[in-house]
């Protein structure tokens, strides 16, 4: 979500003739887009601000902080970090235009002796943002923002507010604009995409998430360059059979579902306020695999929640083994002040949390490696993104299942940005070596 929001700000700056600096050292404006989900992310932001504060002593530099941490610590931020010029919270994004105008006019009217242009400032002001941008052929489209779920460990509902869905017409127009820019794959984003709801102004009908997916599939007919659509994240209590049926029916949706489980223990799921049970989750996985046999499933796992016992940990390990995930984001509990879990007793010590996390990671990695090895010989479709980092004579891409592939055939740069059918010939680490079987196969035919 932060990447998508950074892109929106970058596009706004570009539309005002700003250029992107290659590094913060040559920027007039530094934008730090922050995340509050984990304390480590916030600690890094503090380190960055200290660094840019030191830069500011040497030359004219504007520092802007946006995102969840800006929302969470708004006033405190200004007091703690006086070098920061602007703090833009999650609900103040309409301020960007006015802020950029103010910065531009300060630079253009400033005393030339005061303003030391950055080394590559010729031709316009330069900005630097700490966030990665999506690849040229992939893009994100936020479809809703905020969350009503209040999982007891999570700060998101407090910093992003309640769920708000975007107008379907603006989502469809984003798809058209991205397709016109050559984008081939989009990811629909939201804290809980399954909660999408929008009332159609023409018909008055309520459009829910499966209906949105249907409309997107209809909209992306064969003439659109966008052939792959993904979405994340889905809450297991809300992913309905209707959504599964649309994915199964419409080939434009990648056979990849991210389904965060967090814990395999019903007791811990209850304490987390996840509002589903392990049995519900496992039955959902079964229904997905029955409807879409080739699907890959990834998850999030949170270990070391307050009060978690060895027995709870065993149940998580057992669930990981039972499901057989293709990928997992695994982390240990990180107390966030202001959440319900912060006030819960029986915090787990750091060494125990780390040991449990290590156990889950080792199990998941060995199971995922087995699953990956079983895909050698298969012929998935891949989107070619770039030349390979290690060998410019080879091409690099990823499959709809999220596997990274390097093409063993001689590089042909004209293939970058195109879909190819590949045969996976060898697995090296987490990357497949492959050979091209077919260029631009029919990737979005309906079943
Ligand atoms: S569903 Fe839970 S974990 Fe996800 S954003 Fe909402 S509160 Fe946080």
Write out the two tokens for 145: 């923002």
Using CA atoms, how far apart are residues 421 and 414, in angstroms rounded to an integer? 16
CA of residue 345 to ligand 1 center, whole Å: 21
Rounded Cα gap, residues 45 and 49, in angstroms: 6
Domain that holds residue 152: 134-254
6 and 104 both lie in a single domain: yes
Give pLDDT, residue 39: 83
Q: Give the number of other CB atoms < 10 A from CB of residue 115.
A: 16
The answer to the question of residue 9 being in a domain is yes
Below-70 pLDDT ranges, the chain: 108-135, 222, 409-411, 443-447
Residue 272 lies in a domain: no
Q: What is the pLDDT of residue 181?
A: 87
Is 274 a member of any domain?
Answer: no
Same-domain check for residues 125 and 165: no
Q: Is the CB of 154 under 6 A from ligand 1?
A: yes
150 lines ligand 1 (CB under 6 A): yes
In the reported structure, the alpha carbon of residue 271 is separated from the centroid of ligand 1 by a whole-number distance in angstroms of 14
299 CB near ligand 1 (under 6 Å) = no
* Residue range 155-184, pLDDT digits in tens: 999 988 899 999 999 999 989 988 998 999
Residue 154 CA: which ligand 1 atom is closest?
8
233 C-alpha vs ligand 1 centroid, how far in Å?
9
Ligand 1 centroid, distance to 428 Cα (angstroms): 35
Q: Are strands 296-303 and 327-332 parallel, antiparallel or unpaired?
A: parallel
Q: Is 147 a pocket residue for ligand 1 (Cβ < 6 Å)?
A: yes
Whichever domain contains 87, its CATH number is: 3.40.50.12160
Our answer on whether the CB atom of 159 is closer than 6 Å to any ligand 1 atom is: no
Half-sphere exposure of 215 (CA within 13 A, CB side): 18
Residue 205's φ and ψ, nearest 5 degrees, are: -70, 145
- 277 domain residue, yes or no: no
Ligand 1 within 6 A of CB of 191: yes
| Ligand 1 atom 4 nearest Cα | 191
Nearest Cα residue to atom 1 of ligand 1: 149
Distance of CA 82 to the CA centre of its chain: 31
Q: Tell me whether residue 103 is in a domain.
A: yes
Nearest CA to ligand 1 atom 2: 151
- Among 129, 145, 166, the domain boundary falls at 129
CB-ligand 1 contact for 131 (6 Å cutoff): no
In 97-168, beta strands by DSSP E: 126-129, 138-142, 144-145, 164-165
What is the C-alpha to C-alpha distance for residues 258 and 274, in angstroms, rounded to an integer? 16
pLDDT at position 20 is 85
Q: Which residue do the tokens 């103040």 mark? A: 92
Strands (E), 36-134: 62-67, 86-88, 126-129
C-alpha to C-alpha distance for 188 and 380, rounded to whole angstroms: 22
End-to-end CA gap in the chain: 31
From the alpha carbon of 147, which atom of ligand 1 is closest? 6
Are both 387 and 368 inside the same structural domain?
no
415: domain CATH number is 2.40.50
The total number of structural domains in the chain stands at 4
368 shares its domain with 395: no
Same domain, 244 and 314: no
């Amino acid at each position: 979500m932060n990447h998508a929001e950074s892109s929106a700000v970058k596009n706004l700056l570009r539309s005002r003739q700003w250029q992107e600096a290659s590094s913060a050292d040559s920027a007039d404006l530094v934008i730090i887009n922050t995340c509050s989900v984990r304390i480590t992310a916030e600690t890094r932001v503090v380190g960055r601000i200290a660094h840019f504060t030191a830069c500011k002593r040497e030359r004219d530099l504007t520092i802007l902080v946006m995102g969840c941490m800006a929302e969470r610590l708004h006033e405190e931020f200004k007091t703690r970090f006086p070098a920061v010029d602007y703090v833009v919270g999650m609900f103040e994004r309409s301020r960007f235009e006015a802020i950029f105008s103010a910065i531009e006019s300060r630079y253009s009217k400033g005393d030339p002796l005061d303003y030391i242009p950055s080394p590559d400032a010729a031709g316009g002001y330069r900005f630097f943002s700490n966030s990665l941008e999506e690849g040229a052929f992939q893009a994100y489209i936020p479809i809703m923002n905020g969350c009503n779920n209040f999982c007891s460990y999570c700060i998101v509902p407090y910093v992003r507010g309640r769920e708000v869905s975007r107008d379907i017409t603006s989502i469809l127009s984003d798809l058209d604009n991205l397709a016109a820019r050559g984008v081939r794959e989009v990811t629909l984003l939201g804290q809980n995409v399954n909660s999408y709801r929008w009332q159609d102004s023409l018909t008055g009908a309520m459009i829910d998430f499966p209906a949105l997916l249907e409309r997107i599939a209809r909209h992306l007919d064969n003439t659109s360059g966008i052939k792959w659509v993904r979405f994340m994240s889905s809450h297991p209590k809300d992913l309905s059979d209707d959504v599964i049926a649309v994915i199964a029916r419409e080939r434009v949706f990648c056979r990849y579902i991210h389904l965060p489980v967090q814990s395999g223990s019903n007791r811990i799921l209850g304490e987390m306020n996840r509002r589903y049970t392990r049995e519900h989750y496992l039955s959902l996985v079964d229904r997905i695999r029955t409807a879409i046999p080739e699907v890959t499933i990834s998850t999030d796992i949170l270990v070391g929640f307050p009060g978690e016992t060895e027995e709870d940990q065993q149940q998580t390990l057992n669930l990981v083994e039972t499901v057989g995930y293709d990928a997992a984001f695994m982390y240990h509990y990180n107390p966030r002040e202001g959440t319900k879990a912060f006030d819960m007793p029986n915090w787990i010590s750091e060494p125990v949390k780390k040991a449990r996390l290590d156990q889950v990671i080792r199990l998941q990695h060995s199971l995922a490696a087995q699953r990956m090895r079983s895909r050698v010989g298969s012929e998935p479709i891949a989107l070619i993104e770039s030349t390979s980092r290690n060998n410019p004579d080879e091409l690099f891409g990823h499959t709809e299942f999220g596997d990274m592939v390097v093409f063993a055939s001689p590089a042909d740069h004209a293939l970058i940005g195109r879909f190819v059918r590949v045969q996976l010939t060898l697995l090296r680490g987490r990357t497949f070596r492959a050979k091209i079987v077919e260029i631009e196969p029919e990737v979005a035919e309906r079943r």
